[in-house]
C-alpha cells in the first residue's frame, strides 16, 4: 500500500539492509520480489567510515556494512602542521596502526580455500599460471573448503529465482597482483567466460574439474619427458644406473630456456574456453575432444623442442628416449577403449 501511494507522487521507496539486523542479500531480494512494485528498490549500505561519528572506535573489528568494509580504517595518519609566512603547511606526518580487521571477515570479492592449519587462504595470481586453470575451484559454490567470490553466489541465486537464464554466458573480470611482502612482482587482469549453468550444476563443475585434471596430469608427463631429454643431452650416459645424473642446477636453466610448459599451457587457453562452453550441452563429447586436444598439444610442445636440437647422436638418443617416456605416460593416463589405466 505504501509503495502505491508513494508512486502517485513519483517517490521510490528504498529498502535498507541495516547493519543492526542485517540479513543476507538473498532474503532482501526475495522480499523486494514479493512486494513486486517497480518503485521499491534495494538501498545501498549507508555506513562508510566518513559518515560515522567515531569510525576508529577502540576494539571495533567487524564492519557494520559493506561500505564500512570498503572504507575500513586500517591506518591512522596524523598530519603535523606548521605556521609559515605563506600560511599553514604540512611537512611531516605520523602513521600508526588503526583498526584490526577480524580474521573471520572475508573479502566478498575474493576466492578463498580452506587450509587445515592456516585457515582461509585467498587464491592469488601466480607467475606462469593463468587463472583459467583454477576455474573449477571458482565454481565450487556448495563444496566444503571453498568460499568463491560472493558475486558468483548472487548470480546463482538470480538463476534459481528465474531472473537469469542458466543457458546464458556472462563474462567475469579478475584483477590482482603478485607480491613478495612489500615488493609487487606484477599486476594482472584476466577476462573469462562464465556460463551460468556452472553455478547451479555440481556435476557440470565436476566435469570441468575432470578436464582440468586431464591437462594437469598431461603437463606432468610432458615435463618429465622433457627433463629426460635435457638430462641425456647434458649427460648421454645418465640413463645408466652406474652413471651419475646431471646436477639440477645445470638441467633447470636448460628446461627454462625451452619453456615447454609455457608453450603447452598457452596453446590450451582458447580450446579450454571452447570446451567450457560446450560441456553444458554435450559433456561426453566435449571431454573426449578436450582429451584429444590435450594429447595433441603435449606432442606439439615436445616436438617443437625436439626439432630444434639438431641431429647429433646424443640429441637423437635424448629425443627418442624422451618421446618413448611421453608416449608411455600418455598411454597410462588415457588408455584406449578396453584397456585399463596402468596396464
**Average pLDDT of 308-330?**
93
Residue in 291, 103, 303, 275 with CA at minimum distance from that of residue 195: 275
The model's pTM is 0.73
- State pLDDT tens for residues 10-40: 888 888 766 545 566 677 788 888 888 888 8
- State pLDDT tens for residues 261-303: 999 999 999 999 999 999 999 999 999 999 999 999 999 999 9
Sequence-distant (6+) residues with CB within 8 A of 155 are 164, 170, 194, 196, 199
| Residue of 62 and 172 predicted with greater confidence | 172
Domain positions in the chain are 2-97, 112-199, 204-333
**342: pLDDT confidence band, cut at 50, 70 and 90?**
very low
User: What's domain 204-333's architecture?
Assistant: Orthogonal Bundle (1.10)
Beta bridge partners of 274: none
**44: pLDDT confidence band, cut at 50, 70 and 90?**
low
Residue 341 has pLDDT above 70, yes or no: no
Amino acid at each position: 500500500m505504501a509503495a502505491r501511494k508513494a508512486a502517485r507522487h513519483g517517490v521510490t521507496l528504498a529498502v535498507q539492509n541495516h547493519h543492526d539486523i542485517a540479513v543476507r542479500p538473498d532474503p532482501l531480494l526475495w522480499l523486494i520480489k514479493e512486494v513486486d512494485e517497480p518503485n521499491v528498490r534495494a538501498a545501498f549500505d549507508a555506513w562508510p567510515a566518513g559518515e560515522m561519528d567515531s569510525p576508529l572506535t577502540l576494539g571495533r573489528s567487524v564492519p557494520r556494512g559493506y561500505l564500512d568494509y570498503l572504507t575500513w580504517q586500517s591506518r591512522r595518519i596524523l598530519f603535523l602542521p606548521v605556521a609559515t609566512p605563506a600560511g599553514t603547511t604540512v611537512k611531516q606526518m605520523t602513521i600508526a596502526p588503526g583498526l584490526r580487521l577480524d580474521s573471520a571477515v572475508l573479502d566478498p570479492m575474493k576466492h578463498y580455500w580452506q587450509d587445515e592449519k592456516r585457515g582461509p587462504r585467498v587464491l592469488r595470481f601466480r607467475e606462469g599460471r593463468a587463472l583459467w586453470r583454477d576455474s573449477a575451484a571458482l565454481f565450487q559454490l556448495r563444496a566444503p573448503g571453498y568460499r568463491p567470490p560472493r558475486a558468483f553466489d548472487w548470480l546463482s541465486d538470480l538463476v534459481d529465482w528465474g531472473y537469469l537464464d542458466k543457458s546464458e554466458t556472462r563474462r567475469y573480470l579478475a584483477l590482482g597482483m603478485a607480491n613478495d611482502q612489500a615488493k609487487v612482482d606484477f599486476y594482472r587482469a584476466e577476462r573469462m567466460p562464465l556460463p551460468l549453468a556452472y553455478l547451479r550444476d555440481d556435476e557440470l563443475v565436476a566435469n570441468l574439474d575432470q578436464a582440468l585434471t586431464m591437462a594437469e596430469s598431461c603437463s606432468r608427463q610432458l615435463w618429465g619427458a622433457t627433463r629426460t631429454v635435457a638430462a641425456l643431452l647434458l649427460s648421454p650416459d645418465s640413463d645408466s644406473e652406474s652413471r651419475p645424473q646431471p646436477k639440477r642446477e645445470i638441467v633447470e636453466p636448460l628446461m627454462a630456456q625451452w619453456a615447454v610448459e609455457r608453450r603447452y599451457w598457452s596453446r590450451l587457453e582458447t580450446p579450454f574456453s571452447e570446451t567450457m562452453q560446450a560441456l553444458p550441452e554435450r559433456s561426453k563429447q566435449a571431454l573426449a575432444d578436450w582429451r584429444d586436444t590435450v594429447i595433441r598439444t603435449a606432442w606439439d610442445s615436445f616436438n617443437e623442442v625436439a626439432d630444434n636440437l639438431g641431429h647429433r647422436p646424443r640429441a637423437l638418443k635424448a629425443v627418442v628416449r624422451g618421446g618413448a617416456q611421453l608416449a608411455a605416460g600418455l598411454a597410462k593416463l588415457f588408455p584406449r577403449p578396453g584397456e585399463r589405466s596402468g596396464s
